[in-house]
Amino acid sequence: MQAQTHRLRLFWRLLAGQRLVYACATLALVVASCFLYLVPLVPQIVIDGVFMAGEGEAAPSRLTAWAVERLGGETFLRQNLWLPALLILAFSAIAGAFTYLRGRWSARASESIIRRLRDQVYDQLQHLPCRYFDQAETGDLIQRATSDVETVRTFLTSHVVEIGRALIMFLVPLPLMLSIDWRMTLVSVLLMPVIVGFSVFFFLKVKSAFRQTDEAEAKLTTTVQENLAGIRVVRAFARQAFEEQKFGQANTTHRERDFRLYRILAWFWSSSDLICFLQRALVVCAGAWWVATGSLQVGAFFFFITAVGMFMWPLRQMGRILTDLGKAIVALDRIGEILGAARESAADQVAAPGPETLRGEIVFDRVSFAHAENSPVLREVSFRVPAGSSLAILGPSGSGKSTIINLLLRLYDHDAGEIRLDGHDLRELDRAFVRRQMSVVMQEPFLYSKTLRENLRLARPGANDEEIIEATTVAAVHDSIQRFAHRYDTLVGERGVTLSGGQRQRVAIARALVKAPAVLILDDALSAVDTDTEAAILAALAARAGHHTTILIAHRVSTVMHADQIIVLEQGRVTESGTHLALLERGGLYARLWQAQGEAAEDCERERLAGLAARAETAPP
Amino acid sequence: MSDVAFQEDEYHRQLDLALWRRVLRHARPYRRPLLGLSVAALVVATVEVFFPLATGWLIDEAVANGVSGRLYALAGFYFALCLLLSVCIFAFISFAGRVATGVAFDLREQAFTRLQQLSFAYFDVRPVGWLVTRVTADVSKISSLLPWFLLDLVWGGSLILGIAVAMLWINWPLALIVLAIMPPISLISVFFQRRMLGSSRLIRKTNSQMTAAFNEAITGVRTTKTLVREDEALREFQGLSSGMFQHCMRNALQSAAYLPMVMSLGSLGVGLVLWRGGVTLGSAEGSMTLGTLIAFMQFAAFLHMPVEELARRFTDLQSAQAAAERVQSLLDTEPAIADSPAVCARLAAHSADAPRDDVAIDGFSPRIERIAFRDVGFWYKPGEPVLQHFDLEVRMGQTIALVGATGGGKSTIVSLLARFYEPTEGRIEVDGVEYRERALEWWQSNFGIVLQSPVLFSGSVRENIRYGRLDATDEEVEAAARLVNAHGFISELSEGYDFDVGERGNRLSTGQRQLISLARAVIADPQVFILDEATSSVDTETERLIQDGVHRVLEGRLSFVIAHRLSTIRAADLILVIDAGRVVEQGTHAELMARRGRYHALYVGQFTRQREQAWLAGDATPSKAELR
C-alpha cells in the first residue's frame, strides 16, 4: 500500500510542470472526438430528414427535425446538398485540427517529462558516491537509464494516450446514441465487455509465451556473442562444426518459439477480430430488422454502423496496453531506485576556503578506513608531505595504496583520523574544490570518446595548444600523437582509434599536467609504459619539481627511489618511511627489495658466465 | 585499423530493387506458405469489399420489402462473411509466421556459418557487438518484413482494385468522384511517411549516442569526479537529450498532422457521395438507392486504409534496406583464407576412403616433422610491414620462445603459423610442402593454442576442457586437468567439474581460466602447441601451478611460446628476439646471455621485475629455484 502511494507520488512529481499541458491535450481530445462523431451525424440527418422525409412509419427524431430546420428546411437542403457535404468536411477538419493539437500537446508534455527524467538520471549518476558504483553493475545501470526510461516513455507517449483515446471515444458518443435510439445503443455495446475482457485475459495468458520467445532470442544472441568473442579459440581448435551445431540448436529453438508466438497471435487476432465483426454484424442485422419493421430510421442506422466502427477498434487494443502497464510500473520503480539514492556530499558543502589555489601541503594524521566493518583497508596511516615535494608509496597490491588517493580526492570519506590540506580539515572543504586542486592518473585511465585535443583540454578548457604540447612532451606522447593521421584531432574511444595501454596512460598524464594542479597523483600510472620511457617521463617530471606536490604509487623500487619521501605500505599500515637512503639503512622490506635488484643483476651475470663457460666447452676446438 | 565499415550507416533515398530481388531469393523455399498468404490476403480483400455492399443490400431490402426471406438470407450472408474473414486472418498470420521464422532461421544459419569461415582480418576491423547485430536484429528486420510486405501488397492492391471495380460497376460517375480522392491521399501518405522515416532514423541514432553517453558517464565516473567536470558533462548530455526531444517532437507532429489530413480527405469523399449521390437519389435513373449511397459512403471512408498501408510498407522496405545490405554483404563475403581448388579436389578424392591413421584427410602424411618459414613477410597495409624477411626452421620436439617488445611482430608469427593470416610474402612449409597446399581443417586441428587472455565459453568446467577433444571421456578430462595442475582448484569448486564458469568464464579468476585453457589445449594432444603467456599477474601459488603445468604441456611437442616467464624462456631450445618485425637476435639462453646484447637487457629487466614482484607479494623466502 505504502509502495503504491510512493509510486503515485513519484509519478505525480514526474508530471510536474506538464500537468496543465496534459489537461489541454485531454480537452482537445474531447473536442476532437465530439466533432468526429458529428461527421456521421450529418448523413444521418440528411438521410432521415431529407431523403426519407415522409417515407416509412418512423418519424424523424427531434434532433433531426431541429437540425433540418436550422439548415434551412427540407426543401432547401434537397436542392443544396453541397451544404451538408461542406459540413462533413468542416467537422472533419475541425476534428483533425483538435486531433493535431492533442498530438502536439501530449507529445510536448511527455517528451518534456522524459527529457527531464533523462537529465535527472544522468545528473544523479554523476553525483552518486563511488561506494554506490562499487555495488552496482554497469550494465544494469545503463539498462535503467536507457530501456527503463524508454518503457516509461512508451507508457506516457503511447499508452496513456491510447487509453485516454479509447475511453473518450467510447464515452463521448454514448449520450448522442442514447438520444437517437436506446435499443440500438444497447446492441452496439453488447460485446464491448467481451472484446476488452478477452484481450486482457488473452495477453495475461500468453505472457509466458512472449517471455519464452524473448528468452530464446536472448539465448541466440548470447550464443553468437560468445562465439564471436571467442572466435580465436574456435579456430584454434577448429571447432566450427561444433559451434554451428550449437548455434543450430539455439536457432531452432528460437524458430519454434517464435512460430508458436505467431500461432498464438493468429488465434488472438482472428478471434478478437471475429468478436468485433460479430459486434458489427449484430448492429447491421438488428438495425436492418428494426428498419424493416419500421421502428428505426435508415440514417440513424447508418450512424450506429459508423459509430461502432469508431469506438470498437481502440477498445480492442486495451488488452495489450493494460497488460503492459505492469512493465511501466517496474521500470519506474527501477529508475526511482537510482533517483532515490543518496548523492555525494549532500550535507557537507561547507566553508568556501580562502585562496583559490592551494599550495599542496598534505597531512595524514592516523587515518583509518574500511569498506565494510571488520575489514580495515587503512589503519592509522600518518605522513606529511610539504608543498612542492614528492611522496612515493610502495607496497604490494591490496595494501591500500590506492585507497589513500581515493580518500585524498574525497571519492570516499575516511572513518577516523584527520586529513589536512594546507591545514584545512579535508572534510570541511567542498569536494569539487578539493578535486580541482589535484590531478590524478590511474592505472587504467579513462579517456572520453572525443578527440585527443578535447580530452587533453578537459581539465582546463582555457589551455592553449602550446601548453598542451608541452604537457604531451613531458608525458612522452607528443611524437606518437604526431604519427596519427589526424594528430591531435584523432578521435579516441569506441568510435575512434584504439590506443594501447601505454599510450592511454601517457595521454592521461599529459591531461593531468595540462590542469597544472597543486597536487599531481600518479597511481601506478606507468605500469604499461616500457622502462626507458618510464625513466624519461620521471626525469621530465623531476625537472618540474616544486611546481606541485607529487604523489607516486608504484610497485618498483626503481620508480620510487628518487622521491623526497618514500613510505612502504603493508596491509594498510605504514611499515617504513623516509628517504631512499634512510630506508636502505633501516634494512627493512625496502632495503631487501633494493638488494633484490642488485642480486638479480648479479645472478644474471653469473648465468651469463656459466653460459659462456658451457659454450666454451661445447665449442669445437 | 580503423575501418569505416562498421561506422554509422549511410541511408539511401532510393529503393535498391536489385538488392531486394536478391533478398527475396531467400524466401524461395517458402513458396507454398507465400502462396497461401497471398490467397488469404486476396480473400480478405474481397470480403472487405462485400461488407459495405451487403450492408447496402440489407438496407434496400429492409426499406423496400420489410422483413422478408431475402432479409434473413442477407443477414446470414453477412455473418458468413465475418466467419470467413476471421478464418482468413488466422491463415495469413500463420503463413506469415511460417515465412518470417523460416527465412530468419535460414539467414541466421547462413550468416553464422559464413562467420565461422571468414578470416581474422575480417574480425579485426569489426566489433563483436556490430557483428552480433547483423545476425540477430538485422535478420529479424528483413525476415519479418518480407511476408507482411507481400501480404499488404496483395491485400492493399486487390482491395483498392475491388472497391474501384465494385463502385464503377454500380455507378461509375459517382465512383470516379470517390476515386478522385485517392491520388491526394497517396501523395500525402508518401510525403509524410518519408519524413517520418527520416525523423525516426534520427531518433534511433540519437538514442544510441545517448546510450554511449550513459555508458561513458558510468564507466568514467571517477575520472569525471576527479576532473570536476560533472556540470560540463551534464551540459553535453543535455545537448543530446534536447536533440532527442526535438527529433521525437518532429516525429510526433508529423504523425499528428498526417492522420487528420488523410481522414479529412476520406470525409471529403463521404461528403461528395452524399452530395452527388443524393442529387441522383430521387431521380429516375434508378441505379442509385439509399443502400448504395450508404455503401459508397463507407467505401469513401475506408479507401484511405489500403493506400496508407501500402505507403507504409514501402517505407518499411526503405528503412530495412540498410539492414538488408549489411546481411547480404556478410553472406556475399568470401573467406580470404580457404582451401584452394586443388586442395578441395584432393579432399574430395580422399573423402571416400576409410579414415586411416597414416594418411591425413588431404592425402599427405598426418605427422608434422619440420616446419620452415622461408623469407616470410606480412603487412596489413603496403609500405607498413609488420614482419619482414623472417626465416626459421624447426623440428618436432623443439620449444621456440619469442621475446621482445609488444607490437614487435611476435603474435604475427604465430598467427601466420596457425594460418589465421597468410604470409603476404614468402612461404611456410610443412615437411617441404607449402602449407597452403594442405587442408586448412587438417592443419588447424593439429594446433593447441592458449591465448594470453583465455576465453572460456559458458557451460561447465568439464565442457570447457572437453572443447579440446569432443569425444574425451570424463576420466580423460580429469587426467588433462591433473596434468596442468588444474584438478586441485576444480575439485574445490562447489560442483567440481560441473561448475558453471559463467559467461566467458567470468566466475573464475584469471589464473583459474589460464589453467583450464591449458587443460583444454592439452586434451587435444596437438602436435604443435602455441602459448601466448599472460602478463597479468596472478597470485604466487597459482603462478607456480601454471608454470609447472606449462612445462609439462610443452614436452614432446613442437611449441611456440610468446614468453614472459623466465622459466619458460630459459627452457626453450631456441629464443628469437623480435623487434620491429625482424629477428634481432637468436640462439639459446646461454648463447644470448653471453652476447650481452638485446636479450641480456630484456632478461635482466624481466628478472628484476619478477623477483621484486615476488618479494612485494609477501613471498618471504623467494628461493632462486622458485624464480626459475
pLDDT at B101: 92
Residue B468 in contact with partner chain A when CB distance is under 8 A: yes
Burial (Cβ within 10 Å: 0-12, 13-18, ≥19) of residue B578? buried
Residues B317 and B415 in one domain: no
CATH of the domain at B243: 1.20.1560.10
Quick one: CA torsion of A331, A333, A334, A336, rounded to 10 degrees? 120
Residues B447-468: tens digit of each pLDDT = 888 877 778 888 888 988 988 8
In a domain, B123, yes or no: yes
The contacts of residue B142 (CB under 8 Å, 6+ apart) are B23, B103, B107, B320, B323, B324, B327
Q: Do A497 and B2 touch (CB under 8 A)?
A: yes
In a domain, B355, yes or no: no
Rounded to an integer, the average pLDDT of A325-341 is 84
Angle, helices B230-272 vs B182-219, to 10°: value is: 160
CB B520 within 8 A of CB B467: yes
The contacts of residue A405 (CB under 8 Å, 6+ apart) are A440, A521, A523, A551, A553
For residue A88, the chain B residue with the least C-alpha distance is B271
pLDDT at B12: 56
Q: Do B261 and A262 touch (CB under 8 A)?
A: no
CATH number of A362-590: 3.40.50.300
Strands A519-523 and B425-430: unpaired
Residues B463 and B322 in one domain: no
pLDDT at B627: 39
Concatenated DSSP letters of A545-592: TTSSEEEEEES-HHHHTTSSEEEEEETTEEEEEE-HHHHHHHTSHHHH
Show the low-confidence residues of chain B (pLDDT under 70).
1-13, 282-287, 354-355, 534-541, 611-628
pLDDT at B250: 92
Report B:478-507 residues touching A (Cβ under 8 A): 503-504
- The beta-carbon neighbor of A88 closest among B65, B136, B267 is B267
Contact residues on chain A for B422, CB-CB shorter than 8 A: none
In a domain, B265, yes or no: yes
Residues B201 and B92 in one domain: yes
Residue range(s) of every CATH 3.40.50.300 domain in chain A: 362-590
Contact residues on chain B for A284, CB-CB shorter than 8 A: 54-55, 58, 75, 78
In a domain, B435, yes or no: no
CB B426 within 8 A of CB B374: yes
Query: What does the alpha-carbon distance between residue A394 and residue A401 come to, in Å, rounded to a whole number?
Result: 8
Q: How far is CA A532 from the centre of its chain?
A: 42
- Say which DSSP state B500 is in: B
Q: Where are the alpha helices (DSSP H) in B17-30?
A: 17-24
The contacts of residue B558 (CB under 8 Å, 6+ apart) are B368, B371, B394, B395, B396, B397, B398, B527, B528, B529
Residues B29 and B129 in one domain: yes
Which cell is A340 given?
Answer: 532515490
- The distance of A223 to chain B (nearest Cα, Å) reads 9
CB A139 within 8 A of CB B129: no
Contact residues on chain A for B123, CB-CB shorter than 8 A: 228, 231
Residues B588 and B477 in one domain: yes
Q: Provide the 3-class DSSP secondary structure of residue B597.
A: coil
Quick one: CA torsion of B365, B367, B370, B376, rounded to 10 degrees? 70
Residues B240 and B134 in one domain: yes
Q: Point out the domain boundary residue: B310, B332, B354.
A: B332
Contact residues on chain A for B230, CB-CB shorter than 8 A: 123, 126-127, 432
The contacts of residue A598 (CB under 8 Å, 6+ apart) are none
- The distance of B200 to chain A (nearest Cα, Å) reads 14
More confident residue, A263 or A60: A263
Mutate to test the interface with A, among B107, B223, B450 (most CBs of A within 10 A): B223
pLDDT at A47: 84
Q: Which of B150, B149, B176 is nearest to B163 (CA)?
A: B176
Q: Provide the 3-class DSSP secondary structure of residue B576.
A: strand
Which cell is B293 given?
Answer: 449511397
* Domain span holding position B572: 399-419+444-627
**Ordered strands of the B574-579 beta sheet:** B447-450, B528-532, B558-562, B399-403, B574-579, B582-587
pLDDT at A617: 59
Which residue's C-alpha cell is 527503463? A148
More confident residue, A354 or A161: A161
Which cell is A572 given?
Answer: 594498510
Query: What does the alpha-carbon distance between residue B201 and residue B251 come to, in Å, rounded to a whole number?
Result: 10
Q: Where are the alpha helices (DSSP H) in B524-597?
A: 540-554, 566-571, 589-595
Residue B216 in contact with partner chain A when CB distance is under 8 A: yes
Residues B414 and B321 in one domain: no
For residue A495, the chain B residue with the least C-alpha distance is B7
- The distance of A262 to chain B (nearest Cα, Å) reads 5
Find the radius of gyration of the CA atoms of chain B: 36
pLDDT at B536: 58
Measured between alpha carbons, how far is residue B139 from residues B102, B103, B109, B198, B204 in Å? Answer: 11, 9, 11, 22, 18
Nearest 5°: phi and psi at A377? Answer: -100, -40
Contact residues on chain B for A242, CB-CB shorter than 8 A: 467, 470
In a domain, B554, yes or no: yes
pLDDT at B411: 82
ipTM score of complex = 0.83
Find the radius of gyration of the CA atoms of chain A: 38
Q: Point out the domain boundary residue: B332, B357, B373.
A: B332
Report B:549-608 residues touching A (Cβ under 8 A): 589-591, 593-594, 596, 600, 603-605, 607-608
Query: What does the alpha-carbon distance between residue B515 and residue B511 come to, in Å, rounded to a whole number?
Result: 6
Judge whether residue A535 has pLDDT over 80: no
Query: What does the alpha-carbon distance between residue B484 and residue B525 come to, in Å, rounded to a whole number?
Result: 13
Q: Do B449 and A614 touch (CB under 8 A)?
A: no
What percentage of residues in chain A have a pLDDT greater than 70? 92
Count other Cβ atoms within 10 Å, centred on residue B207. 16
CATH of the domain at B607: 3.40.50.300
Contact residues on chain B for A455, CB-CB shorter than 8 A: none
Strands B425-430 and B433-434: antiparallel
- The distance of B130 to chain A (nearest Cα, Å) reads 10
SS (H, E, C) B420-484: CCCCCEEEEEECCEEHHHCCHHHHHCCEEEECCCCCCCCCEHHHHHHCCCCCCCHHHHHHHHHHC
Strands B399-403 and B558-562: parallel
Q: How many domains in chain B? A: 2
- The distance of A175 to chain B (nearest Cα, Å) reads 23
Residue burial A566-595, b: 16+ Cβ < 10 Å; e: rest:
bbbbbebebebbbebeebbeeeebbeebbe
Angle, helices A160-171 vs A318-340, to 10°: value is: 140
> How many CA atoms lie within 13 Å of A370's alpha carbon, on the beta-carbon side?
7
CB A367 within 8 A of CB A445: no
CB B245 within 8 A of CB A119: no
